[in-house]
Amino acid sequence: MTKNLGLVIRGEKDEQAVLCSKDKTYDMKIADTSNMLLFIPGCKTPEQLNADQASCDIIHSQIAGFSNNYWELRRCRPKLKKLRKLLMEDPYEGPDSHKDQTLTFSKYTTEDFLSLIQASEEEILHQLQVINACKIEGYWRILEFDYEMKLLNHVTQLIDSESWSLNKVPLRTCLEELGSLEPTEMIEHILLSYGRRYIGDAGEVYFEMHEDKICRAIAQMLLQNAVKFNLSEFQEVWQQSVPEGMTARLDQLKGLALVDKTSRPETIFLLKVEDLPEDTQERFNSLFSIREKWTEVDITPYIQDLCAEKQTVGALLTKYARSSMQNGVKVYNSRRPIS
């Protein structure tokens, strides 16, 4: 990692280097120029000379060096898949976990991630928020999924028993009631992960719970234990499993699960976008090995994150897939044979 003027070059020995500002990431590529570039210490630009009308003398400058190429920068997607991979080396299973009481687990601070992840600081911190990471004793951790569901279940059961509105869940009462079961920091973290924090009229802190996030998490819990699930049976069990007052809908599962409408009966299975390759061509190869032909609606949640700045999903499909019509519906398949 090399720093200069607020810019950082990031990348380990086996990675292609990228340049990062405070909030953006750029690919670096050496480009040739037919004009010779000269390095002159203390060189002034025309604008600086015009501002200094007093200095009209000819200046004799020493040339310190020259070059016929330069670094060309192109805005690119931050390479964030490694962030989750590092955190998943040892997910947090709760204060009673024997594994966590040993000192062998991998611990990462923000500074560690700035050295290891090819992304800007703002992009890294945003992604930590997206994946619901939290700081425990000064280190970033991600909750083990079963422990996360245990915490969420405590909160939803309390909401149900107290007959609270899902839009007005009081933080203080949650901490008082559930503090004997789990650390209060974990209770507040799960509320932040699955709700929106706001201040009430009397200054008390409340949370508005996110229906889509909660339904999605419960669907993942149900689907992770089966290779495939009968769609109608799954929808019935799913709706029975979500908190009262919430409605489970298939559009909540974009990028998490895929419905196979060609099978009889129709089935659904877990397919998480974060488990797919980060490289664009590898991502398409992986998707086309799972399903030969995709509709745009089905494939969009699995490639949307690959779009560069101002690039559309349609443009991405045009470049990496071939379209055809099947029963009056446009479908996409691979441009190359999939082994």
Query: Which residue among 183, 209, 235 closes a domain?
Result: 209
Whether residues 319 and 260 fall in one domain: yes
- 26: CB partners within 8 A, 6+ apart: 18, 19, 20, 73, 74, 75, 76
8 within domain boundaries: no
Whether residues 249 and 323 fall in one domain: yes
91 within domain boundaries: no
Q: How many CB atoms lie within 10 A of CB 247?
A: 10
Whether residues 312 and 255 fall in one domain: yes
Q: Output the pLDDT for position 330.
A: 93
Q: Across 76-123, where does the E strand assignment appear?
A: none
12 within domain boundaries: no
Whether residues 204 and 256 fall in one domain: no
| Tokens matching residue 202 | 């009397």
Residue 190 lies in domain = 145-209
CA dihedral sign, ordered 233, 237, 239, 240: positive
Whether residues 204 and 247 fall in one domain: no
- Is residue 277 within 8 A of residue 286, CB to CB? The reply is yes
Phi, psi of 20 (to 5 degrees): -120, 135
- Is residue 331 within 8 A of residue 295, CB to CB? The reply is yes
β 321-326/205-209 pair status: unpaired
Phi, psi of 97 (to 5 degrees): -70, 125
CB-facing half-sphere around the CA of 302: CA atoms within 13 A: 26
205 within domain boundaries: yes
Question: What CATH number has the domain bearing residue 187?
Answer: 1.10.10
Place of tokens 């976008």: 273
Q: Output the pLDDT for position 133.
A: 96
255 within domain boundaries: yes
301 within domain boundaries: yes
90 within domain boundaries: no
Whether residues 199 and 250 fall in one domain: no
Query: Which residue among 166, 190, 209 closes a domain?
Result: 209
Q: Which residues pair with 79 in a beta bridge?
A: 118
Query: Which residue among 209, 233, 251 closes a domain?
Result: 209
Whether residues 202 and 247 fall in one domain: no
| Tokens matching residue 22 | 């405070």
Q: Which residues pair with 196 in a beta bridge?
A: 208
| Tokens matching residue 182 | 């789990």
Comparing CA positions, the residue from 59, 62, 70, 72 lying closest to residue 36 is 70
Domain count, the chain: 2
Q: How far apart are CA 231 and CA 92, in angstroms?
A: 32
Whether residues 205 and 249 fall in one domain: no
Whether residues 198 and 256 fall in one domain: no
Whether residues 322 and 252 fall in one domain: yes
Over the chain (339 residues), the average pLDDT of each successive run of 10 is: 71 89 92 84 77 66 85 90 93 79 75 94 96 94 96 96 94 95 96 95 94 97 91 96 94 96 93 94 95 94 89 92 92 84
Q: Output the pLDDT for position 5.
A: 57
282 within domain boundaries: yes
